[in-house]
Amino acid sequence: MPTIRPVTRADHDQWLTLWEGYNAFYKRVGPAAVPPEVTQMTWARFFDGYESMHALVAESDGRLVGLVHYIFHRNTTMLGPVCYLQDLFTDPSQRGKGVGKALIEAVYEQARLAGSPRVYWHTHDTNKTVMRLYDYVATHSGFVVYRKDV
Amino acid sequence: MPTIRPVTRADHDQWLTLWEGYNAFYKRVGPAAVPPEVTQMTWARFFDGYESMHALVAESDGRLVGLVHYIFHRNTTMLGPVCYLQDLFTDPSQRGKGVGKALIEAVYEQARLAGSPRVYWHTHDTNKTVMRLYDYVATHSGFVVYRKDV
Amino acid sequence: MPTIRPVTRADHDQWLTLWEGYNAFYKRVGPAAVPPEVTQMTWARFFDGYESMHALVAESDGRLVGLVHYIFHRNTTMLGPVCYLQDLFTDPSQRGKGVGKALIEAVYEQARLAGSPRVYWHTHDTNKTVMRLYDYVATHSGFVVYRKDV
Amino acid sequence: MPTIRPVTRADHDQWLTLWEGYNAFYKRVGPAAVPPEVTQMTWARFFDGYESMHALVAESDGRLVGLVHYIFHRNTTMLGPVCYLQDLFTDPSQRGKGVGKALIEAVYEQARLAGSPRVYWHTHDTNKTVMRLYDYVATHSGFVVYRKDV
C-alpha cells in the first residue's frame, strides 16, 4: 500500500504530472485547460499558512501515484469548518489498489484533526466507475449542484 | 419588488424568524435542529470582517421577506474565490413574486464585485418546485454531492 | 476636504503612483523595493472576497491624493478581529489638509462595521512629524516591535 | 530541555493554567481580564482548520511549562503571510532554562514551513528583562505601536 503524506515543495514535478493527468482525464485541455498561472497559484497556496487549501499525496516505491486536494471553509450550520475535497486522482497504472480510498480516508483524518465534522465532494453523475468507490466510503446525498459563471 | 440589501445587526429578530422558517422547511427540527449556539455564531460571522460569510435580505414594505447566505472560499482551478450560496429562503406568504430570483441575482452581483467568477449551490433532486427557478437562473451541472460525517 | 471611498479597479494607475510614492518615502527602493509581482498580488487581494485586505483612497477634485491599506486578523484576546492599518500615504503636495486624519478615521469606521474593536499600526520612532498626527488620533501604546526574518 | 510541540485538546487544563498565569503577569485581571467566552473561543480557534491561529507548548517531565500563540496574516509587501507571535509565557518556576527561546525558535520553524518570511511581536518598552532575550533572538525594529479602541 502507498504511504499517504502531506505534499512538500520537493514534490512539485511529480505533483504537476499527476495534476496534468487529472485535468486531462476531466477534459480540461485546450481552451478549457487550467491556465499555468492558476496551477502555480494553487501550488503556492498549499504552502501558505494563511490559506486553508491542502494537498496530500500517495507515494509508492519512492514515486507519487496519487493526489488529493481539500479546502476548509465555513458553513452556516456548523461551528467548525466543512471540508471540501475538490480533486482526487490516481495514476492510471495504479488503479484498483486502493490508492483513492486511502487518500479519501486520509482526508477524513485531517478533517477530524481540523475540527471539521463533514467532508463533501462533487462528482459527475455519469462517472459510474468512481461512484462505486464513493458509494462505499461515503453517502450519495441526493443533492445536485447548480452553477452560474458570473 | 423587494429591496435587496446586506443584513444589519438591527435585522436580528426578523432574520431569526426567516432562518427558523428555512430550517423548519428543510426538516431541521427536533434532534436535527441547528443548535442555538450555531445560529448565534453564524449570525456573528456575518459581521466579522475576518470571515467570508455574508447575508443579504429582501425587504418589502418595511419587513424582511427573504434571506440568502453565501460564502467565498478557495478553489484549485481559479485565482479568485468561488462563491457558495448555501441558504435561500422566501417567506411562504411572498412566494411567486420573484423574491428568490432577486436574491440569487444579488449574490451574482456580490460575487462579481468580490472577484469571484462562479456561484454554486446544492439542492436536493426531489425539490422540483425550486429547481424550476434554478434551471432558469443557472445551470444544472450534472454533478452530485457525496458526503461523509467524520 | 477629500472624499474617502473604497478603492476600485479603475483607480489602478493613480493608486500605483501613490503606492510608489509611499515606498520611495520609506526608502523601499533599489534592492529594498517591493517587487512588481508583490504589488500586483496586493492589488489583486483588495478585490478578492476571500481575503481580508482592504484599501481606501482619498479623492479631491477628481484625483487620488491619498491611500490607506488595512487588514483584519485574529487576536487571542478578542472575539472579533483586530484591524492592522499597514500603509498610510498622502500626496506630498496635499499635506496639512487633514487627508491623513480623514483616512485614519475612515478606517476606524470600517473597523466598527467589521466588528473589530481595535485598530493598530506601527511607525518608526524617528518619524516625529507623523507621530504628532498619531498622538492626536490614537494612543502611543508604549509597545515596541521586534522582528525576525526567518 | 523541554519538548516543543503543537497543543492538543488534551492539554486544555494545563494550557488554561499557563494562559491565566500569563494574563495575570500582564495585569489582565479584574475588569481588564480576558472574558471566559474569549478564552473559550481562542482555544477553539487553535483546532479550527479554517483559522490561522496556532499554539505550541513546552513540555518538561510530562508537564506543560510554557506556551506560545501565533497568527498568520496578510501583509501588503509580501506574497506569503507574516507571522504575529502574540503571546509567550513560561511558568515562573522554569525561568532561565531557555524555554522562551525554544518556543520562539519553534515559531520561526513553523513560519518557514508556512511560507512566512517574517515573525514579529510587540512588547512593552518597560519590559527590560524579557527584552534581553528578544534582543538576542530578534531585532528591535525601532517601530512603535499606536492603537485606537474604536
DSSP letter string, A38-99? HHHHHHHHHT-TT--EEEEEEEETTEEEEEEEEEEE--TT-SSPEEEEEEEEE-GGGTTSSH
Query: What was the pLDDT predicted at B1?
Result: 79
pTM: 0.96
Which residue type is seen at B94? Q
Give C77's contacts in chain D (Cβ within 8 Å): 28, 34, 38, 42
Query: Do C145 and D85 form a contact (C-beta atoms < 8 A)?
Result: no
Q: How confident is the model over C85-112, as a mean pLDDT?
A: 96
Q: pLDDT-derived band of residue C103, with 50, 70 and 90 as boundaries? A: very high
Element (H, E) at A148: strand A139-149
Q: Is C100 helix (H, G, I), strand (E, B) or coil?
A: helix
- Greater pLDDT, D86 or C2: D86
Set of cell numbers at residue C90:
498622502
- Report the alpha-carbon distance of residue C105 to residue C18 in Å, rounded: 19
Strand-pair partners of B71? B53, B84
Residue-wise pLDDT for C44-83, tens only, equals: 999 999 999 999 999 999 999 999 999 999 999 999 999 9
Residue-wise pLDDT for B128-145, tens only, equals: 999 999 999 999 999 999
Query: Do D56 and D6 form a contact (C-beta atoms < 8 A)?
Result: yes
- Report the alpha-carbon distance of residue B145 to residue A145 in Å, rounded: 7
Residue-wise pLDDT for A105-147, tens only, equals: 999 999 999 999 999 999 999 999 999 999 999 999 999 999 9
Above 90 in pLDDT, residue C96? no
Of B4, B19, B2, the closest CA to residue B95 belongs to: B2
Q: Is B127 helix (H, G, I), strand (E, B) or coil?
A: coil
Q: How confident is the model over C114-119, as a mean pLDDT?
A: 97
The DSSP symbol for C131 reads H
How many residues are listed for chain D in this entry? 150
Q: Is B82 helix (H, G, I), strand (E, B) or coil?
A: strand
Query: What was the pLDDT predicted at B78?
Result: 96
Give D110's contacts in chain A (Cβ within 8 Å): 49
Q: pLDDT-derived band of residue A1, with 50, 70 and 90 as boundaries? A: confident
Query: What was the pLDDT predicted at A3?
Result: 96
Residue-wise pLDDT for D118-137, tens only, equals: 999 999 999 999 999 999 99
Query: What was the pLDDT predicted at D1?
Result: 79
Query: What was the pLDDT predicted at C1?
Result: 79
Q: Mutating which of A18, A77, A84 best tests the B interface, going by the most B Cβ atoms within 10 A?
A: A77
Residue-wise pLDDT for C84-95, tens only, equals: 999 999 999 998
Give B79's contacts in chain C (Cβ within 8 Å): 44
Residue of B nearest to C72 (CA): B50
Residue A129 backbone phi and psi in degrees, to 5: -60, -50
Residue-wise pLDDT for B24-34, tens only, equals: 998 898 888 99
Residue-wise pLDDT for A65-105, tens only, equals: 999 999 999 999 999 999 999 999 999 999 889 999 999 99
Q: Mutating which of B40, B45, B50 best tests the C interface, going by the most C Cβ atoms within 10 A?
A: B50
Residues of chain D with pLDDT under 70: none
CB within 8 Å of chain B, chain C residues 3-42? none
| Chain D CB within 8 Å of residue A117 CB | no
Average pLDDT, chain C: 96
Above 90 in pLDDT, residue B6? yes
Q: pLDDT-derived band of residue C19, with 50, 70 and 90 as boundaries? A: very high
Q: Which residue has 411572498 as its cell numbers?
A: B94
Strand-pair partners of A75? none
Q: Mutating which of C48, C113, C118 best tests the B interface, going by the most B Cβ atoms within 10 A?
A: C48
Distance in Å, alpha carbon of A137 to nearest chain B alpha carbon: 8
Give B48's contacts in chain C (Cβ within 8 Å): 80-81, 114-115
Distance in Å, alpha carbon of C116 to nearest chain D alpha carbon: 8
Query: Do A19 and B77 form a contact (C-beta atoms < 8 A)?
Result: no
